[in-house]
A and B are shown apart, each in its own frame.
Chain A
Amino acid sequence: MQIKAMTNNNIVYMTLQGEIDEHSAERARREADRLIDEYAAAESAVIDLSGVSFMDSTGIGFLIGRYKRFRRFGIPVYVTNLTQSTDKILEMSGVYTLIPKI
């Protein structure tokens, strides 16, 4: 799992690339949280999931955990560019009520 972040007009864009499962999640959490703290002055955040080739329920916990971290800084979070399988998991778990899909 690779995570990159950049800002444009006070929006932080976080890009995830690879597979999110129990094995990859711990390192991904640390890296994402480091980037969230680095971009804490942003007004909103968009997590781009187009590069996520696999996600199981670990991804639900991962996204809600990052949502909580962004919220500490008052930053609303959105997800975008989901694959069909990722969308299916997030839709059924109700994640979009916290993290809207754009």
Chain B
Amino acid sequence: MENYMKLEIAAISENESFARSAVAAFALSLNPTLNDLSDIKTAVSEAVTNCVVHAYGSKSARDKITIECRTKEEDGFGVIHITVTDSGCGIDDVEQATAPFYTTLPSEERSGMGFTIMQTFMDEFSVRSAKNEGTQVCMSKRIGWVKNGEIRELADA
């Protein structure tokens, strides 16, 4: 079943929990496993945290993050497509930024694993960024796809 939602939130850390929970709730119509839901929540949390910490680097509620989600059926699987967009500072070197353990803020106990987690936890992942214009992260996950022998379990709605 095709479905769509668009969420615009202030780029403040208080909204990280709301954003990941909202996307997980939207994904429920695909009847995901608990592992699928956990992966989606973690990936969204990473993307939103990047916007708050790196794109804007401020606590201003005027800065906005846009999250768009589409669910559809593709090749017999439910799929969720998620885009997280900011209008922040942009990324100088996307390849470097997405390398494991790379961080511009090591002094703040940043692990540099955010993009790696998004890549690993989702099935498709891409980043587009323009300096001083913003960044868009696109991620997709097939729901119900049995991977690495994991057995499907029903999520609690």
Contact = CB atoms under 8 A, between A and B. Distances in A.
B111 interface: yes
Interface stretch (A4-12, A34-42, A53-61): A53-61
B16 A60 contact: no
Contact of A61 (B13, B20, B111, B117): B111
Interface in A3-47: 19, 21-23, 25, 29
A40 to B, nearest CB: 20
A84 B153 CA distance: 13
Question: How extensive is the interface on chain B, given as a class?
Answer: 20 to 34
Interface string A58-102: 101110110000000000000000001100010011000000000
B49 A56 contact: yes
Contact of B117 (A21, A22, A23, A56): A56
B109 interface: yes
A93 B100 CA distance: 9
Interface string B15-42: 0110010000000000000010011011
A21 B111 CA distance: 12
A32 to B, nearest CB: 11
Given A21-B49, A64-B111, A89 B17 contact: no
13 contacts: A19-B17, A22-B52, A54-B45, A56-B45, A57-B110, A61-B108, A84-B38, A85-B35, A85-B42, A89-B42, A92-B113, A92-B116, A93-B116
Interface of A: 19, 21-23, 25, 29, 54-58, 60-62, 64-65, 84-85, 89, 92-93
Interface of B: 13-14, 16-17, 20, 35, 38-39, 41-42, 45-46, 49, 52-53, 108-111, 113-114, 116-117, 120
CB-based closest 5 A-B pairs: A61-B109, A23-B13, A60-B111, A85-B38, A57-B113
